[in-house]
Amino acid sequence: MKTFGDVRALDGVDLDVPEGTVLGLLGPNGAGKTTTVRVLTTLLRPDSGRAVVAGVDVLKHPNEVRRSIGLSGQFAAVDEYLTGRENLHMVGRLYQMSGRAAKARAAELLERFGLADAADRPAKTYSGGMRRRLDLAAALVVSPPVMFMDEPTTGLDPRNRQALWEVIQELVAGGTTLLLTTQYLEEADHLAHEICVVDHGRVIARGTSDQLKARTGGERVEVVVHRPDEIAAGREVLAAFGRSGAVTVEEHTRRLTVPVTGGAKLLAEVIRELDARGVEIDDIGLRRPTLDDVFISLTGHAAEQKDAPDAPDAAGATAASRKDPLK
Ligand X SMILES: Nc1ncnc2c1ncn2[C@@H]1O[C@H](COP(=O)(O)OP(=O)(O)OP(=O)(O)O)[C@@H](O)[C@H]1O
318 binds Mg ion (CB under 5 A): no
Binding characters for Mg ion, 22-61, by CB under 5 A (x = yes): -----------xx---------------------------
**Residue from 3, 21, 74, 154 in contact with Mg ion (CB under 5 A):** 74
**Residues within the interface to ligand X (CB under 6 A):** 4, 7, 9, 27, 29-35, 74
| C-alpha angle 155-32-135 in degrees, rounded to nearest 5 | 35
Which of ligand X, Mg ion, none does 153 bind, CB closer than 5 to 8 A by kind?
none
Instruction: Determine the Cα–Cα distance for residues 124 and 250; give it in Å rounded to an integer.
Output: 42
Count residues contacting Mg ion (CB under 5 A)? 3
Distance of closest approach, residue 195 Cβ to Mg ion, in angstroms: 16
Distance of closest approach, residue 245 Cβ to ligand X, in angstroms: 32
Nearer to ligand X, 2 or 213 (CB): 2
Which of Mg ion, ligand X, none does 31 bind, CB closer than 5 to 8 A by kind?
ligand X
| C-alpha angle 125-130-131 in degrees, rounded to nearest 5 | 75
Instruction: Determine the Cα–Cα distance for residues 247 and 310; give it in Å rounded to an integer.
Output: 7
Stretch near Mg ion under the rule CB under 5 A, chosen from 74-82, 107-115, 265-273, 291-299: 74-82
Instruction: Determine the Cα–Cα distance for residues 253 and 241; give it in Å rounded to an integer.
Output: 21
Distance of closest approach, residue 189 Cβ to ligand X, in angstroms: 18
Q: Are 178 and 145 in contact (CB under 8 A)?
A: no
Number of H helices, E strands in the chain: 12, 14
Q: Are 168 and 139 in contact (CB under 8 A)?
A: no
Nearer to ligand X, 189 or 230 (CB): 189
Which of Mg ion, ligand X, none does 205 bind, CB closer than 5 to 8 A by kind?
none
Q: Which of 133, 13, 125, 110 is nearest to 80 (CA)?
A: 125
Which residues lie closer than 8 Å to 170 by C-beta, 6 or more apart? none
Residues within the interface to Mg ion (CB under 5 A): 33-34, 74
